[in-house]
Amino acid sequence: MTFTKRIFLPRSVARTFVIIAGLSAVTASAQISEQDRLARCANNRARIASLQGKYDKIWSGDHVQRARELLRQLRGYRGRLKELTTDVANSAAHLNEVQTHGPSFGENVNQLSSEYDAARKKLTTEIANMKMIGARDNLSCSSDDARCADQMITDLGHQIDQAGTDRAASAQWARDIAASKTNLIALHCDQETAGDPVVGTWTWAYAQSGRPQEHGAVTFTADGKMNWTGGSHGTWTRTGNVVSLHWSDKPRSDNMVLSADGKRLTGSNDQGWPVQGERQ
């Protein structure tokens, strides 16, 4: 048997103890160095940007339903491609035999050749149609037969599975984002961001290749958000002279470097396109 001895303090002593404990906690918080505070601000912003980027890419229920319908179509294409591939192989074998040993009674080499060409054309058309449908959801393949369908089906299946995993984790992501935003407030991170060299409006330019061409402007606000005049929006973070942009309405991100004079941003997006901004 275990005995616990309780110690009762007079009210005045207990009250004094609580006040001292509270002051100690405040003092400990106040003793955080400015460098540590800025580092925590940067870490929380980076976490928000990372989680928000994943959260914004979560497939809606309609998106999942469309993906499953596409999966059904691809499986249909796979079956037809296997049949057409067999037809082409049989037609080629028959044509080769006739050309080697001569036609049997009633056979016409030209007709057999036309039948082979028609089978090949039908197979090629079916593959092209399947690739066009898959490209709408960023699916592609390198082969020109039923293996193409197999590759697309596998890739899309993985995407659907990942969508389910992301949807299951979305509630926790939302809680983590809210917690990090609370940390930003507690750390008074707005005091640091308000004077950040990135905050303001920048003339924006980009191109698929070559010299970036001007495309509107991007405004960076002190709360870590950004808006492009072309309609897109997202969040941004800065660590030293490295500025990371995460666009919320599309699966794109930009990695930029801030110039020493704070007047120019240069870098590229995740597709390799050159991007740059000039402070207005």
Q: Is the pLDDT higher at 8 or at 76? A: 76
- pLDDT, greater one: 249 or 208: 208
pLDDT interval class at 138 (50, 70, 90): confident
3-state secondary structure of 144: coil
- Which of 254, 255, 263 has its CA nearest to residue 232? 254
User: How many residues comprise the chain?
Assistant: 280
Q: Is pLDDT of 56 > 70? A: yes
β-pair partners for 258 = 265
Q: Which residues contact 274 (CB under 8 A, 6 or more apart)?
A: 206, 207, 209, 210, 211, 212, 266, 267, 268
Look at 257 and 142; give whichever has higher pLDDT. Answer: 257
Structure confidence at residue 69 (pLDDT): 94
Residue with tokens 């926790």: 172
d(CA 54, CA 48): 10
The better pLDDT of the pair 86, 192 is held by 86
260-271 confidence digits (pLDDT tens):
888 999 999 998
Q: How confident is the model at residue 97 (pLDDT cuts 50, 70, 90)?
A: confident
Half-sphere exposure of 90 (CA within 13 A, CB side): 8
Segment 161-188 mean pLDDT: 91
Distance CA(196)–CA(241), nearest Å, equals: 11
pLDDT per residue as tens digits for the range 77-95 = 999 999 988 888 888 888 8
Q: What is the DSSP letter of 59?
A: P
Lowest mean pLDDT among 40-54, 91-105, 175-189: 91-105
Q: How many CB atoms lie within 10 A of CB 190?
A: 13
Burial, 246: exposed, middle or buried (Cβ in 10 Å; 0-12, 13-18, 19+)? Answer: buried
Residue 29 has pLDDT above 90, yes or no: no
pLDDT at 14: 47
Supply φ then ψ for residue 208, to 5 degrees.
-65, -35
pLDDT for the residue 94: 83
Which amino acid appears at position 211 of this protein?
Answer: R
Residue 173 has pLDDT above 80, yes or no: yes
CA pair distance 280, 276, nearest whole angstrom: 13
Residue 27 has pLDDT above 80, yes or no: no
Set out the domains of the chain in order of their start, with CATH numbers: 35-189 (no CATH), 195-279 (2.40.128.10)
Two structure tokens written together for 191: 């005091």
Tracing tokens 């930029």 back to the chain, one arrives at 256
- Tell which residue, 184, 151, 137, 209, has the closest CA to residue 42: 184
